[in-house]
A and B are shown apart, each in its own frame.
Chain A
């Protein structure tokens, strides 16, 4: 079982590595040192049309910035600047 698992796993990893030459990260977009919860135009770029916070995989910002971003979006939601959820559909 152990060897079978290993066998099954190895090519998959290799294939994945071959399929994805890992394109260089787009651009972290931000060079800000403070992400303001009042800047809804900026924050809106980081939420989906349902109002969910976009993941770092999609936003491409740094870990620290993503954390600040999430904090800012949540603060903005509390003050009704951004929706918790969009009821459009």
Chain B
């Protein structure tokens, strides 16, 4: 089990309050694999330093979790299949 931190940028056209539930469904992947989600932090709409996919803003979310490498890989893959996800980044903090 390793600690991971994932940052996700979502489409700003989404309803901000639907973000948490929809992310939760994705985070089931982690929980089902025996990992744990320690923190789900929705920053909300934020102006980006440059446009991504022609959008000047994005909804940022940061998730801290503990899981196996395979689980985070699968989560990352599935998120990137979603059109509403503009970008993701997985980091192992302190590494």
Q: Is the CB of A37 within 8 A of B48?
A: no
Check A38–B62 contact: CB distance below 8 A. yes
Q: Mark B48-59, 1 if CB is under 8 A from A, else 0.
A: 111010000010
- What A residues does B60 contact at CB under 8 A? 79
Q: Are B7 and A38 in contact (CB under 8 A)?
A: yes
Q: Is the interface of B mostly helix, strand, loop or mixed?
A: strand
Interface hit among B32-40, B75-83, B87-95 = B87-95
Interface size class of B (residues with CB under 8 A): 10 to 19
Tell me the chain A residues, 71-89 only, with Cβ under 8 Å from chain B. 75, 77-84
Chain A interface residue count, Cβ-Cβ cutoff 8 angstroms:
14
Residue of B nearest to A81 (CB): B49
Would you list which residues of chain A between 33 and 74 have a CB under 8 Å from chain B? 33-34, 36-38
Q: Is B27 an interface residue (CB 8 A)?
A: no
Interface residue B9 (Cβ < 8 Å from any Cβ of A): yes
Q: If A34-B94, A38-B7, A38-B62 touch, does A79 touch B50 (CB 8 Å cutoff)?
A: no
Pick from A33, A38, A80: contact of B48, CB below 8 A.
A80
User: Most chain-A CB neighbours within 10 Å: which of B48, B50, B58?
Assistant: B50
11 of the cross-chain contacts (CB-CB < 8 Å) are: A34-B93, A36-B93, A75-B89, A79-B7, A79-B60, A79-B89, A80-B48, A80-B49, A80-B58, A82-B49, A83-B50
